[in-house]
């Protein structure tokens, strides 16, 4: 590994960390699309900042562009407050307009601005190590490392200092307000951090891929845990993993690093989406199926209890009466048999004592709607599952 | 080129005619279907789909090797649809919220698309140039076959909208009721989403991935401010969309270095801004005016009510009273008295005032809103 390669990977990891932290809170606060809006609308800020500072890596440029990000949030909220359109429409109206202004500004001043819309949107991590920071002729490493490193340090410091406030205001706004934390300050603080991160990361990974790095690791972590601290750690780790794997994939394919980082994130998310324990697609589908069978079983047993006449309890009759398919009735009957809820005598099904007790409980629950009954039933259902 | 010159050229220049027609049809199509997207609270779906279409374009090129825009659009359509249904899958089956799902699909698909695009760019095949026009759109690359595609799709969606108008309208405003009436809600839902995706995909070449969502939203959001009727809104949105298309093309053609997409979006944004401020019923300006006049009315009513309470104690309601006795009531001024007089609620003679019959009955019913409205 050459030193440039190490630097690129370091930058990628730092960007992943810087994005994962505000990203987690954006996902939890249901404001993920705000990051998309910010990433687009910083463009005019960047262009104007560039006119003033004439240096793409100047801290002032970053601040100015970040202010545009916060202004976007304010504009979106203003439009939402007027109630003229739904809130997501407000986001969708503001950022394309600002982005268009940015594109036109660049196009109109193409000779003076060494800024490329493609570069802003897509970034090029491979070039990052060429822009060196040197003080008194001593090479201190790539500029991007310092910029993003500073952002990471600031974000982490703020996170640790205001962790409690952030946590409370994210999960219970009213409580936070009652306790005396201004939700407004925390809200705009978070927005500012998100803006600064987006701007700081744009020339490394590009504005749109910042969105991927903010949302995808947080979404993955959210599918894996319900604990905020664990969620932050998982998000950061997922970001770093995708940064490193993505770099090497890009290396072998000779393609965009940012693109391959996102693709790796996409695959990781797909895996988590499918296989996450208890919240992944497969376990959700499995659970839904099981609950369905449980409800069928209950219906079946209630039917048995309601009908003492043998003709109603004949095994062939049940299929017609409750309108079940063959497979379905077989599953339900087998399940009931296995749990000793019923006995089949000469094709006539009758409830056992256990089955009757169970059905009685179910009726109690349905008629009284008391939660005590359902708790006991849950244990019974648990028996079937085992 | 001046704008006037552009309009002169419009009647003679074939290319310009094609492009203008293309953007106009696109604007109308997007406005029409965008109304449904906005009302269904799927505004940002357009943004996600347009980004999600990118890998489809790149893959279609990688597989077929052709740059024919219809081939690429089919690729875009497929990957857009995959994106849309994945978003639904995430929202329905996990506890992730729709904003997270949208952002995820948007950025992950776009990143994958970028990976493919940079991969294609480094291939020895020289044919690959020009794929990046789908990023920001280039109306100038529209040829008549593209415009034909747009017209056909616009015609088709219009037909579908007319055929299923009643069902779509029901679905829009009361999905549960629609279901209970026995309509196939799932089919309708997929149908309208499918057409929204198509309209986004055909716009990619002109406006580009990044700005396409605004094409869908802005005309509809502007139209929403002027009416409460769905049919009028769809019609208005189509007109706004077509106008932004034509004006945007005109402005960008008449000056150097202006790409069409951003100009069209900005024109559409101006429509939105104008509608937000000046729409007579919902607009901010008239709302503020109404608010102010309501406040003034309230002040007058307070004065009137105060007078009423004095008058009530007398047998003769027209009995004059000194203005002085109003002094310990802070709401009144000379001006407000004049105003009340001009409404024939009171009569004022130098230092005395008295309620008229009309003033007495108005004051008596002041807090009885229903009666007043009737």
Could you give the CA distance from residue B164 to residue B275 in angstroms, rounded to a whole number? 29
Shortest CA distance to B216 belongs to which of B65, B80, B362? Answer: B80
B108/A262 Cβ within 8 A: yes
More confident residue, A10 or B357: A10
Does residue B64 have a pLDDT over 50?
yes
Q: What proportion of chain A, given as a percentage, has pLDDT over 90? A: 26
Chain B residues 48-87 within an 8 A CB cutoff of chain A: 51
Compute the residue count for chain B: 374
Q: Which of A85, A216, A231 to mutate to test the interface with B (most CBs of B within 10 A)?
A: A85
Q: In B65-139, where does DSSP find H-type helix? A: 69-93, 98-121, 133-136
B221 neighbourhood in chain A, CB within 8 Å: 84-85, 89, 93
The mean of the pLDDT values for chain B is: 84
- Residue where a domain stops, chosen among A276, A291, A308: A276
Asked whether residue A199 falls in the same domain as residue A127, the answer is: yes
Q: How far is CA B289 from CA A59, A98, A110, B292, B338, in A?
A: 45, 29, 44, 5, 21
Asked whether residue B229 falls in the same domain as residue B329, the answer is: no
| Sign for the pseudo-dihedral over CA of A207, A212, A218, A219 | positive
Nearest to A253 among B100, B119, B211 (CB): B119
**Amino acid B70: pLDDT:** 83
Q: Tell me, what's the ipTM?
A: 0.85
B93 interfacial to chain A (CB closer than 8 Å): yes
Asked whether residue A379 falls in the same domain as residue A341, the answer is: yes
Nearest to B103 among A215, A253, A254 (CB): A215
Quote the minimal CA–CA distance from B93 to chain A in Å.
6
A256/B118 Cβ within 8 A: yes
Asked whether residue A57 falls in the same domain as residue A98, the answer is: yes
Contacting residues for A229 by C-beta, under 8 A, at least 6 apart? none
**Amino acid B330: pLDDT:** 63
- The stretch B182-202 carries a mean pLDDT of 90
Asked whether residue A195 falls in the same domain as residue A327, the answer is: no
Could you give the CA distance from residue A34 to residue B44 in angstroms, rounded to a whole number? 11
Quote the domain boundaries for residue B331. Answer: 285-373
Asked whether residue B293 falls in the same domain as residue B272, the answer is: no
Shortest CA distance to B274 belongs to which of B287, B290, B265, B285? Answer: B285
Structure tokens given for A157: 């410091």
Does residue B264 have a pLDDT over 80?
yes
Does residue B208 have a pLDDT over 60?
yes
Burial class (CB in 10 A: 0-12, 13-18, 19+), B78: middle
Structure tokens given for B165: 């108008």
Q: Which of A60-64, A119-123, A142-146, A158-162 holds the top average pLDDT?
A: A158-162
Shortest CA distance to A271 belongs to which of A237, A220, A230? Answer: A220
- pTM, 2 dp: 0.85
Nearest CA in chain A to B120: A255
Quote the minimal CA–CA distance from A350 to chain B in Å.
37
Asked whether residue A227 falls in the same domain as residue A347, the answer is: no
B282/A100 Cβ within 8 A: no
- Residue where a domain stops, chosen among A227, A255, A276: A276
Asked whether residue B209 falls in the same domain as residue B323, the answer is: no
B269/A212 Cβ within 8 A: no
Q: Are A278 and A226 in contact (CB under 8 A)?
A: no
More confident residue, A164 or B358: A164
Q: Which pairing describes strands A348-351 and A342-345: parallel, antiparallel, or unpaired?
A: antiparallel
Shortest CA distance to A132 belongs to which of A147, A118, A114? Answer: A147
**Amino acid A323: pLDDT:** 64
B239 interfacial to chain A (CB closer than 8 Å): no
B315 backbone dihedrals φ, ψ, rounded to 5°: -75, -45
Quote the minimal CA–CA distance from A343 to chain B in Å.
37
**Count of structural domains within chain A:** 2
- Provide the CATH number for the domain around residue B343: 1.10.10
Q: Are A268 and A220 in contact (CB under 8 A)?
A: yes
A281 neighbourhood in chain B, CB within 8 Å: 89, 93-94
- Provide the CATH number for the domain around residue B105: 1.10.3470.10
Chain B residues 113-142 within an 8 A CB cutoff of chain A: 113-119, 122, 132, 135-136
Does residue B373 have a pLDDT over 50?
no
Could you give the CA distance from residue A95 to residue A116 in angstroms, rounded to a whole number? 18
Using DSSP's 3-state secondary structure scheme, residue B312 falls into: coil
Q: Are A82 and B277 in contact (CB under 8 A)?
A: no
B38 interfacial to chain A (CB closer than 8 Å): yes
B266 interfacial to chain A (CB closer than 8 Å): yes
Q: In the A/B pair of chains, how many CB contacts fall below 8 A?
A: 199
Chain B residues 190-219 within an 8 A CB cutoff of chain A: 210-211, 213-214, 217-218
**Amino acid B344: pLDDT:** 78
- Which residues share a beta bridge with B354? B347
- Residue where a domain stops, chosen among B281, B315, B333: B281
Q: Are B76 and B49 in contact (CB under 8 A)?
A: no
Could you give the CA distance from residue A283 to residue A173 in angstroms, rounded to a whole number? 32
Using DSSP's 3-state secondary structure scheme, residue A57 falls into: coil
Asked whether residue B174 falls in the same domain as residue B111, the answer is: yes
- Residue where a domain stops, chosen among A276, A301, A336: A276
Q: Which of A55-69, A201-215, A329-343, B100-114 holds the top average pLDDT?
A: B100-114
SS (H, E, C) A165-229: HHHHHHHCHHHHHHCCCCHHHHHHHHHHHHHHHHHHHHHHHCHHHHHHHHHHHHHHHHHHCCCHH
Q: What is the pLDDT of residues A319-372, one digit of tens each?
A: 666 666 666 777 777 777 777 777 777 777 777 777 777 777 777 777 776 666
**Amino acid A295: pLDDT:** 78
B99 interfacial to chain A (CB closer than 8 Å): yes
Nearest to B225 among A84, A96, A281 (CB): A84
> Maximum distance among all alpha carbons in chain A?
99
Report residue A193's pLDDT band, with 50, 70 and 90 as the boundaries. Answer: very high
B301 interfacial to chain A (CB closer than 8 Å): no
Q: Which pairing describes strands A138-142 and A132-135: parallel, antiparallel, or unpaired?
A: antiparallel
For the CA atoms of chain A, what is the radius of gyration?
29
Asked whether residue B91 falls in the same domain as residue B219, the answer is: yes
Nearest to B112 among A97, A215, A263 (CB): A263
Structure tokens given for A375: 């708790």
Q: Which of A19, A38, A102, A103 to mutate to test the interface with B (most CBs of B within 10 A)?
A: A103
The mean of the pLDDT values for chain A is: 82
**Count of structural domains within chain B:** 2
B281 interfacial to chain A (CB closer than 8 Å): no
Q: What is the pLDDT of residues A250-284, one digit of tens each?
A: 888 888 888 889 999 999 999 999 998 888 889 88
Q: What proportion of chain B, given as a percentage, has pLDDT over 70? A: 93
Q: What is the pLDDT of residues B231-256, one digit of tens each?
A: 999 999 999 999 999 998 888 888 77
Asked whether residue A91 falls in the same domain as residue A105, the answer is: yes
B272/A93 Cβ within 8 A: yes
Report residue A386's pLDDT band, with 50, 70 and 90 as the boundaries. Answer: very low
| Element at B298 (helix H, strand E) | helix B284-311
Asked whether residue A264 falls in the same domain as residue A319, the answer is: no
Nearest to B262 among A82, A103, A259 (CB): A103
Structure tokens given for A380: 């019974």
Could you give the CA distance from residue A311 to residue A106 in angstroms, rounded to a whole number? 83
Structure tokens given for A55: 């240096």
Quote the minimal CA–CA distance from A263 to chain B in Å.
5
Does residue A312 have a pLDDT over 80?
no
Q: Which of A25, A88, A118 to mutate to test the interface with B (most CBs of B within 10 A)?
A: A88
A279 neighbourhood in chain B, CB within 8 Å: 94-95
- Provide the CATH number for the domain around residue A134: 1.10.3470.10
Burial class (CB in 10 A: 0-12, 13-18, 19+), A243: buried
Quote the domain boundaries for residue A350. Answer: 282-385
Quote the minimal CA–CA distance from A154 to chain B in Å.
25
Q: Which of B87, B108, B138 to mutate to test the interface with A (most CBs of A within 10 A)?
A: B108
SS (H, E, C) chain A: CCHHHHHHHHHHHHHHHHHHHHHHHHHHCCCHHHHHHHHHHHHHHHHHHHHHHCCCCCHHHHHHHHHHHHHHHHHHHHHHHHCCCCHHHHHHHHHHHHHHHHHHHHHHCCCCCCCCHHHHHHCCHHHHHHCEEEECCEEEEEHHHHHHHHHHHHHHHHHHHCHHHHHHHHHCHHHHHHCCCCHHHHHHHHHHHHHHHHHHHHHHHCHHHHHHHHHHHHHHHHHHCCCHHHHHHHHHHHHHHHHHHHHHHHHHHCCCHHHHHHHHHHHHHHHHHHHCCCCCHHHHHHHHHHHHHHHHHHHHHHHHHHCCCHHHHEHHHHHHHHCCCHHHHHHHHHHHHHCCCEEEECCEEEECHHHHHHHHHHHHHHHHCCHHHHHHHHHHHHHHHC
Q: State CA A292 to chain mean position distance.
A: 28
């Amino acid at each position: 590994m050459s030193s440039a390669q190490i630097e690129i990977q370091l930058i990628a990891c730092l960007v992943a960390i810087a994005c994962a932290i505000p990203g987690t809170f954006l996902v939890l606060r249901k404001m993920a699309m705000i990051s998309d809006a910010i990433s687009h609308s910083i463009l005019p800020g960047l262009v104007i900042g560039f006119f003033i500072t004439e240096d793409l890596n100047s801290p002032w440029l970053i601040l100015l562009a970040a202010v545009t990000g916060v202004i976007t949030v304010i504009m979106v909220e203003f439009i939402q407050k007027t109630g003229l359109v739904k809130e997501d429409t407000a986001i969708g109206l503001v950022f394309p307009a600002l982005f268009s202004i940015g594109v036109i500004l660049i196009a109109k001043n193409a000779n003076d601005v060494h800024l490329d819309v493609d570069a802003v949107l897509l970034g090029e991590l491979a070039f990052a190590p060429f822009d060196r920071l040197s003080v008194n002729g001593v090479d201190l490493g790539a500029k991007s490392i310092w910029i993003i490193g500073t952002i990471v340090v600031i974000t982490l410091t703020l996170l640790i200092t205001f962790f409690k406030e952030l946590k409370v205001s994210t999960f219970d706004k009213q409580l936070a307000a009652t306790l005396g934390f201004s939700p407004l300050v925390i809200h705009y603080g978070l927005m500012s951090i998100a803006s600064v991160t987006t701007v700081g990361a744009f020339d490394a990974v590009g504005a749109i891929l910042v969105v991927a790095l903010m949302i995808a690791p947080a979404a993955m972590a959210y599918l894996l845990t319900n604990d905020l601290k664990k969620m932050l750690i998982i998000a950061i780790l997922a970001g770093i993993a995708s940064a490193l794997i993505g770099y090497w994939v890009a290396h072998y394919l000779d393609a965009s690093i940012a693109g391959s980082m996102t693709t790796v994130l996409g695959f990781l998310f797909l895996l988590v989406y499918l296989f996450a324990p208890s919240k992944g697609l497969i376990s959700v589908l499995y659970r839904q199926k099981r609950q369905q069978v449980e409800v069928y079983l209950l219906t079946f047993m209630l039917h048995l209890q309601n009908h003492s006449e043998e003709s109603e309890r004949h095994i062939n009759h049940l299929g017609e009466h409750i309108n079940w398919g063959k497979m379905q009735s077989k599953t339900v009957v087998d399940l009931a048999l296995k749990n000793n809820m019923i006995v089949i005598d000469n094709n006539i099904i009758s409830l056992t004592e256990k089955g009757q007790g169970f059905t009685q409980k179910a009726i109690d629950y349905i008629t009284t709607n008391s939660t005590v009954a359902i708790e006991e039933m849950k244990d019974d259902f648990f028996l079937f599952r085992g | 080129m001046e704008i006037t010159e552009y309009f002169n050229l419009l009647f003679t220049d074939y290319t310009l005619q094609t492009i203008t027609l293309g953007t106009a049809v696109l604007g109308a199509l997007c406005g029409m279907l965008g109304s449904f997207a906005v009302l269904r609270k799927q505004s940002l779906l357009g943004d996600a789909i347009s980004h999600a279409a990118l890998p489809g374009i790149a893959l279609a090129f990688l597989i077929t090797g052709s740059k024919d825009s219809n081939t690429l659009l089919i690729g875009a359509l497929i990957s857009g649809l995959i994106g849309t249904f994945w978003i639904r899958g995430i929202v329905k089956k996990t506890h992730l919220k729709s904003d997270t799902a949208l952002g995820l699909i948007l950025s992950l698909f776009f990143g994958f698309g970028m990976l493919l695009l940079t991969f294609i760019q480094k291939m020895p095949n020289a044919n690959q140039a020009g794929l990046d026009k789908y990023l920001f759109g280039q109306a100038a690359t529209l040829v008549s076959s593209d415009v034909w595609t747009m017209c056909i799709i616009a015609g088709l969606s219009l037909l579908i909208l007319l055929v299923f108008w009643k069902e779509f309208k029901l679905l829009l405003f009361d999905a549960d009721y629609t279901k209970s009436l026995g309509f196939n809600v799932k089919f309708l839902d997929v149908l309208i989403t499918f057409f929204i995706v198509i309209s986004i995909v055909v716009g990619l070449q002109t406006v580009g991935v990044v700005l396409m969502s605004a094409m869908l939203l802005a005309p509809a959001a502007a139209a929403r401010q002027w009416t409460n009727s769905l049919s009028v809104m769809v019609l208005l949105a189509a007109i706004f969309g077509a106008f932004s298309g034509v004006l945007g093309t005109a402005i960008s053609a008449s000056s150097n270095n202006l790409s069409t997409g951003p100009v069209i979006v900005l024109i559409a944004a101006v429509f939105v801004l104008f509608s937000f401020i000046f729409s007579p019923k919902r607009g901010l300006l008239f709302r503020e005016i109404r608010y102010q006049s309501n406040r003034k009315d309230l002040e007058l009513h307070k004065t009137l009510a105060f007078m009423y309470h004095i008058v009530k104690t007398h047998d003769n309601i027209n009995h004059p009273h000194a203005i002085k006795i109003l002094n310990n009531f802070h709401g009144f001024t000379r001006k407000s008295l004049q105003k009340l007089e001009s409404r024939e609620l009171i009569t004022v003679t130098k230092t005395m005032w008295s309620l008229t019959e009309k003033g007495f009955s108005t004051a008596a019913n002041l807090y009885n809103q229903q009666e007043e409205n009737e």
